[in-house]
């Protein structure tokens, strides 16, 4: 029998050990990947914060945003992402310093962030110096999602989040464009096994029971009836998220959970830190658990 030199034997043994370690590592990675994929498919957790109104002329608004980030990083470490629902910053300074400051703050979050515009972003002051929609997209749109015109789509396991820009340039009111309606409806129709969440700024209903036509025109989507008729009949539209009115509402309409989250900057009592709130949402399958949480 041929003898294997000791040096070659040691090399052979080392190679075998290395191969075994690589196989074990790959197996572990595969197992870990499967667990992560299963976790993503079984549900998700996120924060919805809207109407944060960061304003460089009001230092407290910057402080409150920093407290929002600190609160999430301290107490909500298992989030998949944070959704910001428009009027994120007041867009009222020369250049884009307020947008840059907002981004610097949210970039400190431990998880990804996804944004839609509100009327503050679409009606800049001064009007001649806007951070316009292409500028907003360049600064805040993510590599994680598909861009469809002014809108975007983010996949998370069996769920899809659609970020819809319902703003009208240089106006405080809003509506679904025909392009956005077709985009959302095509998604719902063509992907029945996917559960959808639609994120936009203006609300779907006059839930505060106003009898002021101007008030309703400003805050409720101007074609809300059309949007609900075309979209809410699809059973895979799980939830809509909006803000704008700074009031809180959670209703169920045709099987869809329709949420308007309390404005983070509450004008009634801005100095009460308990009034600066955001919504925590946890979804398992089609089951939704949600609650308002303050920054303290």
3-class secondary structure per residue, the chain = CCCCCHHHHHHHHHHHHHHHHHHHHHHHHHHHHHHHHHHHHHEEEEEEECCCCECCCCHHHHHHHHHHHHHHHHHCCCCCEEEECCCCECCCCCCCHHHHHHHHHHCCCCCCEEECCCHHHHCCCCCCCCCCHHHHHHHHCCCCCEEECCEEEEEECCEEEEECCCECCCCCCECCCHHHHHHHHHHHHHCCCCEEEEECCCECCCCCCCCCHHHHHHHECCCHHHHHHHHCCCCCEEEEEECCCCCCEEEEECCEEEEECCCCCCCCCCCCHHHCEEEEEEEECCEEEEEEEECC
CATH topology of domain 43-294: Purple Acid Phosphatase; chain A, domain 2 (3.60.21)
> What's the pLDDT at 143?
93
Note the pLDDT tens digit of each residue in 271-292.
899 999 999 999 999 999 999 9
Q: Please report which confidence band the pLDDT of residue 42 belongs to, taking 50, 70 and 90 as the band edges.
A: low
**Degrees to nearest 5, angle at CA 248 with 247 and 253:** 125
Return the percentage of the chain with pLDDT > 70, whole number.
Answer: 85
> What's the pLDDT at 33?
37
pTM, full prediction = 0.86
Note the pLDDT tens digit of each residue in 195-243.
999 999 999 999 999 999 999 999 999 999 999 999 999 999 999 999 9
Residue 161, pLDDT > 90, answer yes
Note the pLDDT tens digit of each residue in 114-140.
999 999 999 988 887 778 899 999 999
| Rounded average pLDDT over 38-60 | 86
In the chain, where the domains are located: 43-294
Residue 18, pLDDT > 60, answer no
């Amino acid at each position: 029998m041929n003898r294997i030199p000791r040096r070659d034997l040691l090399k052979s043994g080392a190679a075998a050990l290395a191969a075994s370690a690589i196989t074990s590592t790959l197996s572990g990675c595969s197992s870990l990947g499967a667990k992560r994929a299963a976790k993503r498919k079984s549900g998700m957790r996120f924060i919805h914060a809207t109407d944060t109104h960061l304003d460089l002329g009001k230092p407290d608004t910057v402080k409150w945003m920093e407290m929002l980030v600190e609160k999430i990083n301290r107490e909500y470490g298992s989030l998949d992402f944070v959704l910001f629902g428009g009027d994120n910053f007041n867009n009222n300074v020369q250049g884009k310093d307020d947008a840059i400051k907002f981004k610097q703050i949210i970039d400190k979050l431990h998880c990804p962030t996804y944004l839609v515009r509100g009327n503050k972003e679409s009606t800049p002051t001064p009007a001649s110096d806007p951070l316009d929609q292409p500028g907003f997209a360049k600064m805040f749109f993510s590599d994680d999602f598909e861009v469809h015109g002014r809108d975007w789509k983010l996949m998370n396991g069996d769920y899809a989040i659609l970020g819809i820009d319902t703003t009208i340039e240089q106006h405080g009111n809003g509506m679904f464009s025909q392009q956005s309606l077709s985009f959302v409806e095509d998604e719902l129709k063509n992907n029945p096994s996917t559960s959808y969440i639609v994120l936009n700024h203006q609300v779907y209903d006059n839930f505060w029971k106003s009898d002021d036509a101007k008030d309703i025109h400003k805050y409720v989507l101007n074609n809300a009836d059309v949007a609900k008729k075309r979209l809410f009949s699809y059973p895979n539209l799980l939830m809509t998220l909006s803000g704008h009115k700074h009031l809180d509402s959670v209703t169920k309409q045709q099987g869809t959970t329709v949420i308007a989250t309390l404005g983070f900057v509450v004008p009634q009592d801005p100095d009460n830190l308990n009034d600066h709130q955001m919504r925590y949402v946890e979804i398992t399958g089609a089951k939704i658990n949600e609650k308002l949480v303050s920054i303290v």
